[in-house]
Structure 1
Amino acid sequence: MSYVQHQQNFYGLPVVTVPQYTPATLLPEAGSVAWRLATGPYPTDEDYHDYWKRFTSTVELEKVRALVFGFGAHYMPHQELIDLSSRLTGLEALFLNDLEDDEEMISSIEEGDLAPLLEAFPNLRELVVRGGGGLEFPVSGHAGLRSLRIESGGLPPATAADIAAADLPSLERLELWLGDDWYGGGTTVEQLAPLLAGEGKPALRHLGVQNSPIQDELAAAVASAPVVPRLTSLSLSMGTLSDEGAEALLHGQPLVHLDELDLSHHYLSHAMMLRIWTALEPAGVRVNLLGRREPDQEEDDEEWDDEDGRNGRYVAVSE
């Protein structure tokens, strides 16, 4: 299963790629779709600028609600978007770097500072970013943002800490793919402390702290985290969760108030899976235990693998 795929729907709208040659009269109504901008492989600077000019001159920007960008690392559209903020007055959703592995590996996708972009669009409600290289989030607050998802094979720890500490009073959904230390990750439980304490995000209802090599530590922290009682769904998926972390969840605060608990891509024993299911499913919690994996015994025997404590377990998305 690939976790990194092109968006077919975004912000409740079908994604339509801006064509290079279709007459403007044949384009859909500007607010009825999420517009995807992608120039294809190996575009020149001229290709990029001509394509961007075509979009801005043929689509009614004031009516655009959602944008999806698939340009790649060399053409981050931050400044172009900021320059158009006075025309993109209806923009509510933004997906940056909608690229699949054959276009650019997630660990190679560079991003940058998101603060100017968020400042330029105070009415933005949903933001998705794929890639973590160079990603910065020095944002003290944003009143309108309701959903934030960072898809990364290695989210810079300082960035994760900034997101955890940010004042986002309207945020209802937060999903962080923390990623692997080898690819720039390494976020600790301590850096997520404000988030787990429930600070700065009073509207939060879904929390995903995912794709981490310390998923057991995160599970243990979540087991007593003050933020959990206000949630309706929780995801600890895509990481290295083992029986140790699951045991902490079972002995922690009650989770029966949740509508859904996502633990997919895990390293749980069959006996532990049954215990979790027995504890939560009868209470009405939808528990996702798909994607059970076995530790890689061959790698587990390697000296370097034992030294970093991975024990043959790996996150779902890294390189």
Structure 2
Amino acid sequence: MGIHRYLDHFGGLPVADLRHSYSSEPSAVPGEQPPETYSRQPNPPYGIAPGEYAPDAVAWRLRRRAWDSEDPEITEIYEYFADTVDTSKVTALIIGGWDEDMSEENPMVERLVRDAHRFPALRHLYVGDIVQEESEISWITLGPVTPLLEAFPLLAELGVRGVENAPVDSPAFSPVRHEHLRRLRIESGGLAARIVRAVCLSELPALEELELWLGVGEYGGDASVDDLSELLTGARVPALRRLGLMNSEFQDEIAEALAGAPLTARLETLDLSMGTLGDRGAEALLSGQPLGHLKELRIRHHFLGEAMADRLRTALRASGVSSDISPPADTRSWGDGRYVEVSE
């Protein structure tokens, strides 16, 4: 998944946009995927009406198309959904765009927390399925995350996208214990250090997959490698097997920390994509603890030299590790030429 395409599957189900009873059916609009990309999905781009599919047959997406003047408010779409779909059987839910100005706090977070009792079967939740044509990622407010985890103690997967615009005394994420969460994904062009630390201090005994897009300082990404130290011990995430520490300005330092981290020894998949990884970080991976236990190492969007990339591929292949190492990113004319894939 990236910032240019909507989710088409989630929670093991095809995604279905809910069509409000009187919402229009626009043709091509900004951010809309062309109809042919929906050929494997149960709905055309403008969505399906309630009753066309069983509540647990699709991942329901609720979103307001701000460019369509006839589209209802997101809260009205939600109430319509709650009144016409048996939410007690819904297993996967996606919240898309909620307004023309995504910097305003998403009203759906409060409603979902309030109405958690109406979703006893919900196991997969994604908040912020918004493509770049709708809003830059730095304009999307990352709403309260911890209340969602507290409201849904059986949730298995949570994904969120945006940057923190919360008051100092009201962080978007606080350390939490959650017994059933297996996958957590936080996508940002600038992830605040206090969020990174809160994730790393959370007790998540069932967590198998974690993905963090750390972003850049210009958009609030003030974390450092030190903020990851508790995570890298692995003590609070005993089941973690797939880790993505991505989209970072300090990707070399992350690689160096991983090279000696206790957590690394039990990972199956490691993803260091989207950031500024260079030869220094790759050398640390090669000279650190053996990586032969990995099933896959992914490095897409990077700044490795050709010789170093070949060394890394060869070493991984000799150990039976699958590598997904893309060609290097284009260089730029400022600084040292490195940049993350997603920032603004």
Do Structure 1 and Structure 2 share a fold, with TM-score over 0.5? yes
Select 1:299's aligned residue among 334, 338, 344: 334
TM-score, normalised to structure 2's length? 0.85
- Given candidates 174, 183, 198, the residue that maps to 1:147 is 183
Per-residue CA distance 1:64-84 (angstroms, 9 max, x = gap): 001011134343311111121
Quote the offset at 1:39 in angstroms.
1.7
Checking the alignment, whether the CA contact within 8 Å between 1:107 and 1:133 is kept in structure 2 is no
Range moving further from structure 2, 278-287 or 238-247: 278-287
Contact between 2:62 and 2:74, CA under 8 Å: does it hold in 1?
no
8 Å Cα contact 1:7-1:98 kept in structure 2: yes
Further displaced range: 16-25 or 49-58: 16-25
Q: Which of 110, 115, 123 is matched with 1:92 structurally?
A: 123
2:6 equivalent in structure 1? 6
From the superposition, tell whether residues 95 and 228 of structure 1 become closer, same or farther in structure 2 (CA, over 3 Å). Answer: same
Task: Confirm or deny: 8 A CA contact 1:11 1:93 kept in the other structure.
Answer: yes
Work out whether residues 18 and 49 of structure 2, in 8 Å CA contact, stay in contact via their aligned partners in 1: no
Indicate which of 103, 109, 112 corresponds to 1:81. 112
**Contact 2:64 2:71 (8 Å CA) reproduced:** no
Decide which moves more: 43-52 or 127-136. Answer: 43-52
| 1:263 positional shift | 1.1
SS at match of 2:75: helix
Greater shift in the superposed pair: 280-289 or 244-253: 280-289
Q: Deviations over 1:37-89 (max 9, x none)?
A: 01211569963333222101111000000101113434331111112111100
2:272 corresponding residue in structure 1: 236
Residue 213 (structure 1) aligns with: 249
Q: SS of the residue aligned with 2:237? A: coil
Amino acid paired to 1:37: L
Q: Distance in 2 between matches of 1:2 and 1:78?
A: 22
Q: Distance in 2 between matches of 1:90 and 1:98?
A: 21
Selected match of 1:156 from 182, 187, 192 = 192
Q: In structure 2, what residue type is equivalent to 1:312?
A: G
Q: Which residue of 2 aligns with 1:308?
A: none
- Structure 1 residue 282, shift from structure 2 partner: 2.8
Residues 261, 288 of structure 1: 8 Å contact kept: yes
1:55 matched to 2:84: no
Q: What do the CA deviations read for 1:108-159 (whole angstroms, capped 9, x no partner)?
A: 1002221221111000000000112236211321111100001110011110
**Structure 2 unaligned runs (5+)?**
22-47, 166-170
Change (3 A) 1:237 1:200: same
Aligned partner of 1:9: which letter?
H
Structure 2 Cα separation of the partners of residues 136 and 241 of structure 1: 28
Alignment RMSD: 1.8
Aligned length: 307
Q: Deviations over 1:256-307 (max 9, x none)?
A: 11000011111011100110011011322111111412432x213xxxxxxx
Question: Residue 311 of structure 2 is aligned with which of 269, 275, 283?
Answer: 275
- Residue in structure 2 matched with residue 15 of structure 1 by the alignment: 15
| Residues 176 and 140 (structure 1), Cα distance of their counterparts in 2 relative to 1, 3 Å cut | same
**CA 242–57 in structure 1, closer or farther in 2 if over 3 Å, else same:** same
Aligned equivalent of 1:123: 154
* C-alpha spacing 1:256/1:241, structure 2 compared with 1 (3 Å): same
1:197 and 2:197 aligned: no
TM-score (normalised: structure 1): 0.92
- Higher alpha-carbon deviation: 283-292 or 183-192: 283-292
